[in-house]
Amino acid sequence: MSNDSGQRSLRDLPSVDALQRTDLGREIAEAAGEDHSAQLSRSAIADLRRRLSSGEAGNTGKAELISEAVNVLRDLWEQEDATRLRRVINATGVIIHTNLGRAPLSEDARRAVSENTGYCNLEYDLNLGKRGPRAPRSEMLITELTGAEAALVVNNCAAAAFFVLTVFAAGRRVAISRGELVEIGGDFRVPDVLSQSGATLHEVGTTNRTRLSDYETAIDDGAAVILRVHPSNYRIIGFTASPSLGELASLAHDRGVLLYEDIGSGALIELAPLGLADEPTVADSIRSGVDLVTFSGDKLLGGPQAGIIAGRRDLIDRLRKHPLYRALRIDKLMNAALEATLEAYRRNAESEIPVIAMLGLGRNSLLERAERIAGEIAAMTSSSLNVQILDGESAVGGGAAPGAKLETKLLALSHGTLSAQDLEISLRKGDPPVITRIENSLVLIDLRTVPPEDEPELLERIRSLAAQP
């Protein structure tokens, strides 16, 4: 390309106005307003100008330049659109997928959310006709389901742990086993949460073995709180030991110190029958005598994002009256979902809760579904899309039950001309986005995390892959 033609191309660049008058320009203005649409058009033209100047884009005529500008604008618009919060199909087999919204809500919980978006009795007692507490029914259900004297609900479990430590451990020594100084994921690290709450960390025992006498010594040295953390996302196996929760509770109560457990996942029912052998239940903790326990609403409990604090009434009352509660309390929509989820547990209808239902799916039912879909794909004529069914494992996710083995059947896709990456991107960028993973150059689809009612849409999306040459 000569310099001269480069200059001419620059002169031929469309104006922002011209780009705004294209069909796409009008569509964007309609959806996002004139100002934003003009801003995107300016970015598109600037990008094209840069590419022409650098010789990256060749010399073309006026008409080609406007259609090129429209292409750039479409890319920008689509990239921006992909940031919109939207429903996706989770075909990864990771049940509590932290990046995909953790626990999907039950039908009842979804209905409860949509019914309470307007005015509702969030803090209004309909029996008395005056102001009432927030989330009293969730609290009542939690006490019923766990045997705790009282409960309080906040925004998430990290907030719950921070809240408990700030109120009961600030300025005091907190004894914790070296095996429990864990990072739960992201920025939640037990030592950091402790120091942020104003408590002093008092490490006891070793990474793999901690004895009751280690805690006793810590109390002799001034520890006023014993903190037990369920390590959630990893396990120490082999030569290990730690006192039982019951032993810790006896010690704490004899010596007048507080026993607080951050149990994390918050299983409300025994999950061993579903393959999760070492997930403690909240009721176990309460029965063992912990003073307070905290857990998440959207991990194994299968509800909305929430942090639940359960335990002694006098301690819960102190938390409720503390100014931090105002900053951390749950909002009305999440409380609506939490209530509905807890109601399902109370009437022993846990299978209505998607997380519990997905954990319980057997290999045979997954195989049946995979075979049906594979059959449909195979029947797509003149397609270069290949499908096979492989053995695999799903994951609990959410930093829970790292050792659990959930055997599954995977649909494995490959294509005559498209790479696994191409297929993955195409599935991810469609509507609705389908999130998969790639292993050994195959795109893997685990139906465990795809609700049966989403199957037709999933198949439709796969069909669109098959339509590619």
Ligand X SMILES: *Cc1c(COP(=O)(O)O)cnc(C)c1O
* Contact positions vs ligand X (CB under 6 A): 156-158, 161, 184, 188, 229-230, 232, 262, 264-265, 296, 307, 399
Of the two residues 14 and 307, which places its CB atom closer to ligand X in the complex? 307
Least separation in angstroms between CB 68 and ligand X: 45
Tokens coding 127: 């029996």
- Comparing CB distances to ligand X, the nearer of 228 and 415 is 228
**Minimum CB distance to ligand X, residue 102 (Å):** 8
Planar angle of CA 279, 281, 284, nearest 5 degrees = 125
Cβ proximity to ligand X, 96 vs 373, nearer residue: 96
Question: Which residue lies nearer to ligand X by CB, 276 or 444?
Answer: 276
CB 294 → ligand X: shortest distance, Å? 7
CB of 223 to ligand X, least distance (A): 20
Q: Minimum distance from CB of 189 to ligand X (Å)? A: 10
Of 163 and 215, nearer to ligand X (C-beta) is 163
Residue nearest to ligand X (CB): 264
Least distance to ligand X from the beta carbon of 343, Å? 21
Torsion of CA 150, 154, 158, 159, to 10 degrees: -110
Question: How near is the Cβ of 27 to ligand X at its closest, in Å?
Answer: 39
CB 219 within 8 A of CB 191: no
Residue number, 166 or 232, with CB nearest to ligand X? 232
Q: How far is CA 386 from CA 89, 119, 379, 423, 429, in A?
A: 21, 52, 11, 12, 20
Between residues 77 and 163, which has the closer beta carbon with respect to ligand X?
163
Closest CA to 267 of 360, 356, 136: 356
